Each structure stands twice: as C-alpha cells, then as structure tokens.
Amino acid sequence: MKKLIITAALTGAEVTREQQPNLPITPDEIARAAYECYLAGASIVHVHARDEHGKASQSAEIYRIIKEKIENKCNVIFQPSTGGAVWHRFEERTGPLEVFPEMATLSTGTCNFGEDVFFNPQNYMEGFAREMQKRGIKPEIEIFERGMIANALKLVKKGLLAPPLHFDLVMGVPGAIPGDVEDLVYLKNRLPSDATWTVAGIGRYELPLSVHAIAMGGHVRVGFEDNIYYSKGKLADSNAQLVERIVRIAKELGREIATPDEAREILRIGVQQ
Ligand code: KMH
Ligand code: ZN
C-alpha cells in the first residue's frame, strides 16, 4: 500500500468558537494549526478563510495571507476551499484560486447540507474545473453523493479534468450520504481504478471511516471542519490531536505516513496533465 496521506481540515465554514473554543480563525491561528498538524504527520491542510468577525470568507487577500504564513513555517500542501459556505456565490468561491494554490477542492454536485443546500450546478462545476485547469491547480473532487462521481467523470469527458483523479469522500453530512462502512465500500467501488481517494467522516463517523480507509488503502481527512470531538462528548484539544491519533492507528496497522513531498508524488501534483 502507498503511504498514508493525512489531510487536516482546520477550520471549515460552519463551526464556531462557541462550539469549539480551540477553533483556529485568524490567519496566524490557522497557520499555527497547520504547522502543528504538519509536525503531527499531516501532509495537506484544507483551509477555509474567516474574516475579522470570524465569518466564512472567500477573500483572495485573506487566503493569500494564510498561504504565506503557512509557507513560512513548512512545506505542507495548502488546499483552500472553493466550496466556501452555502451562501457564497460562484464569483466569491473562486477567490482562493487567485493565489495559485497547488490544490483546491471542487465539488461535483448539489446536495442538501443540514438545513441548507450546497449549490453546485453544472456551470459551477465546469467553471471551477476550468479555472483550476488554467492555473495548473490539482483538484480534490469532493463527493457528498454517488451521482457526484458520475458528474466528475463527465468533466473528464469534456476535457475539464485529467486523470488520475483524486477524490475526497465526504460522508455523514446531514442530508447527504451517511457514513456507514457499507456506504464507503459502495463509493470506493464506483471510483476509477487509477483514482486516489481520501475519506472525510463527519462527526461520529470520522474515526470508524478513517480506520477503514487506512485498511482499504485510502487516505484520511480529520479536523475541526468535520468533527470537533475527540470522543463522545469530549471536545478535541486541537486539530493536531486528531492527526496524532490517526498516525498512531496507521502505524499499528502497518501504514507509513506520507511527507508532503511524498503526498505530492502520490497525487501527481505538479505533473503536467
Ligand atoms: N462548507 C461547505 C458548504 C469544500 O470545502 O470544498 C462546503 C465545503 C466543501 O466545505
Ligand atoms: Zn471544506
């Protein structure tokens, strides 16, 4: 099996300080959390920016500051979100692509998202894919439902995505696919054979799905965007604490941990496609 890529989803767009007092919000806090996660074993950090009031923001300027601060500390892969928050429009959501990250997320379909709708119609998907292709940014394709895999493959046919694709199976969002192991096996079996994949289990699904992904040869995403708890009713101290646990489990299961450069190689980042 390839080495394990651990992504730390540090902040997200929805979680608040009231829910998780240790949530990193300012660029300094996000960069510090990224560095701690890198030291713990993460090779990618998935980042959502927040404005000075702590509200989700897709401002290129804030993403630029965060990217610089992280790059000053370590070579972890900076992966900003084009998903933003459910209220962000397409034009706002492309903000982080202006700072030329190595990677960015790309959601290939619309789904319910708690009480809201995460809106990704065809013209959004094509628009994000085109903007990333133009800049040589590796997409991480966010899958919240099975149909979104089919939508991604349509983008390949249109020449907007180039294999090998990299997917993030986001499982357990209220309103979208649940996070039972059977659901993971089902999604994984629908991916192209040359694809790489990671799993982001939401809330209580995070730990069991992570363990299964490690055993199945997939990769793992943890962090406050997806789960604020260490165990039932007990908040995690930090994003890094969640990464450290995955490292311990992976080692027990015989999976070595990828460095950022090894993750670049596994994901073929920077390879002309
Ligand atoms: N905040 C969600 C509505 C992504 O980062 O690309 C979308 C999201 C996906 O978090
Ligand atoms: Zn996100």
pLDDT at 184: 98
Nearest protein CA to atom 6 of ligand 1, as residue: 83
Confidence of residue 270 (pLDDT cuts 50, 70, 90): confident
pLDDT at 272: 59
pLDDT digits (tens, 9 = 90+) for 151-163: 999 999 999 999 9
| Mean pLDDT in residue range 107-111 | 98
- pLDDT of 273 over the 60 cut: no
Query: Do the domain assignments include residue 173?
Result: yes
Cα separation, 193 vs 203, whole angstroms: 29
Nearest protein CA to atom 4 of ligand 1, as residue: 83
The DSSP 8-state label assigned to residue 200 in this structure reads: E
pLDDT digits (tens, 9 = 90+) for 188-228: 999 999 999 999 999 999 999 999 999 999 999 999 999 99
Query: Do the domain assignments include residue 77?
Result: yes
Ligand found nearest the CA of 103: 1
pLDDT at 2: 96
Query: Do the domain assignments include residue 234?
Result: yes
pLDDT at 257: 98
Query: Do the domain assignments include residue 85?
Result: yes
Nearest protein CA to atom 9 of ligand 1, as residue: 83
Query: Do the domain assignments include residue 272?
Result: no
Token pair of 1 as six digits: 């099996």
Query: Do the domain assignments include residue 188?
Result: yes
pLDDT at 250: 98
pLDDT digits (tens, 9 = 90+) for 9-46: 999 999 999 999 999 999 999 999 999 999 999 999 99
Query: Do the domain assignments include residue 273?
Result: no
pTM for this entry: 0.98
Q: Give the pairing type, strands 219-222 and 196-201.
A: parallel
| Number of domains within the chain | 1
**Alpha carbon distances (Å) from 207 to 106, 172, 181, 229:** 24, 12, 11, 10
CA–centroid distance, residue 48 to ligand 2 (Å): 6
| Domain assignment of residue 236, given as a range | 6-267
CA–centroid distance, residue 66 to ligand 1 (Å): 18
CA–centroid distance, residue 46 to ligand 2 (Å): 7
pLDDT digits (tens, 9 = 90+) for 176-192: 999 999 999 999 999 99
Question: For the purposes of burial, counting CB atoms within 10 Å of the CB of 241, is it exposed (0-12), middle (13-18) or buried (19 or more)?
Answer: middle
Tell me the pLDDT of the chain averaged across its residues: 98
| Mean pLDDT in residue range 83-112 | 98
Which residues sit with their C-beta closer than 6 Å to ligand 1?
13, 81-83, 85-86, 105, 107, 113, 118, 142
What residue spans of the chain are helical by DSSP H? 27-40, 60-71, 90-93, 122-135, 147-157, 181-188, 206-216, 239-252, 260-267
Query: Do the domain assignments include residue 162?
Result: yes
CATH code for the domain of 33: 3.20.20.70
Rounded to a whole number, what is the distance in angstroms from the first to the last CA of the chain? 24
| Ligand 1 pocket test target in 81, 111, 124, 145 with most atoms within 8 Å of CB | 81
CA–centroid distance, residue 256 to ligand 2 (Å): 25
| Percent of the chain predicted with pLDDT > 90 | 98
Cα separation, 247 vs 27, whole angstroms: 26
Index of the ligand 1 atom closest to the CA of residue 86: 3
